[in-house]
Structure 1
Amino acid sequence: MKNDILLAKWLSGEISEEELETLKKSGDLAAYEKIATYASKLKAPPFDKDAVLQKIQQGRQHASSGVRQIRPWKRFARVAAVISVVLVSYIFLLGEDTVISTANAEKTDLVLPDESLVILNAGSVLTYNRKKWDERREVLLEGEGFFKVVNGSTFDVKTYAGTVSVLGTEFNVKNREDYFEVNCYKGAVRIIHRKDTLKLLPGGTFRALGGKKAETKNTPDTEPSWLRDESSFKSVPYPLVLKEFERQYNVRVHLRAETNLDFTGSFSNKDIETALKSITLPFRLKYKFTDGKKDEITIYTDKD
Structure 2
Amino acid sequence: MSDNHPRTGSLCLRNRMAARRLLLLPACCLFFLTGGSVHAEEASQVSSSPANAAIHIKYTIYTHWLPVMKLETSFLLEQTRYNVAMQARAEGLLSIFTRLRIQSVATGTIRDNAVLPTRYDSQGLSRSAQRHVVLDYQQGQPVVTLQEPKETDREPVPDELRQHGMDILSTMAKVILTVRKTGHCDGAYDVFDGIRVSHFTLKTTGQDMKPDVFQDRKVPAMRCEFSGYQTAGFIKGHQAKALREPHGGTVWFINVDGYGPVPVRTEIDHPKVGHLTVKLDKLEKGAG
**TM superposition score category, shorter chain reference:** under 0.3
Higher helix share: 1
More strand, by proportion: 2
**Greater relative contact order: 1 or 2 (C-alpha under 8 angstroms, separation 6 or more)?**
2
**Max Rg structure:** 1
The TM-score, its normalising length taken from structure 1, stands at 0.26
Q: TM-score, normalized by length of structure 2?
A: 0.27
